[in-house]
A and B are shown apart, each in its own frame.
Chain A
């Protein structure tokens, strides 16, 4: 079945630095990837949708200059949290879609803590 890998699983960074999170589709080509965020004890909210080779589409209220998404290949999308602040601490998770695999397979998620 479709496998989505996400790396790193967790990361701690200092306030003001940038962090990059990778999402890979291991056994299929992902034309579309989705990035979600989950605050503690809350549900998951879609942040943005990225299509391979084009700019990402951000949901309302998500700062595109802060959360940079790159989907340069059919198997890799990256989310970079720029100038991270403690309020960006969250659980980030991706899903991928392509080749008959709908975007309901998720990566294992990345827990970001900004100190």
Chain B
């Protein structure tokens, strides 16, 4: 069965430090991959997506992610974190099987300390 694993429930980084959020997926074919951010009480905002092509994907707010097929990973990175980046981050797999369903990881809560 398809699944998405985010091994870190929460991560704390200092403002200005680099960030990497891990994501692994299980899927038979090359999936559509996404990262979303959710601020408390808010909806989901799409940070970036990978469908095909260049495995390094640039997103909004200075985020990027790299698709590594051999590792079934799609880790999210940011070189310098800002306090406003504190939020919940969800990695997701999109399955285009008679409708585009999204399977979410459990999420990683990012805390940013001054």
Contacts and interface: CB of A to CB of B under 8 A. Distances in A.
Interface of A: 6, 32, 34, 36, 42-46, 49, 51, 93, 95, 97, 102-109, 111
Given A105-B46, A109-B44, A97 B104 contact: no
B42 A104 contact: no
Interface string B68-93: 00000000000000000000001010
B25 interface: no
A103 B100 contact: yes
A108 B46 contact: no
B28 interface: no
Nearest to A103: B100
Contact of B43 (A45, A102, A104, A107): A107
B23 to A, nearest CB: 12
A103 B101 contact: yes
Contacts of B53: none
A42 B106 contact: yes
B100 A43 contact: no
Contact of A93 (B43, B92, B107): B43
Nearest to A93: B43
B43 A32 contact: no
Contacts of B49: 104
A54 B105 CA distance: 29
A25 to B, nearest CB: 13
Contacts of A49: 99, 101
A46 B46 CA distance: 17
Contacts of A43: 90, 104-107
B99 A95 contact: no
A34 B102 contact: yes
Contacts of A36: 102
A93 B99 CA distance: 17
A32 B100 contact: yes
A102 B96 contact: yes
Given A34-B100, A93-B43, A95-B102, 18 more contacts: A34-B101, A42-B106, A43-B104, A43-B105, A44-B44, A44-B90, A46-B101, A51-B99, A97-B99, A102-B32, A102-B94, A103-B99, A103-B102, A104-B32, A104-B49, A104-B94, A105-B46, A109-B44
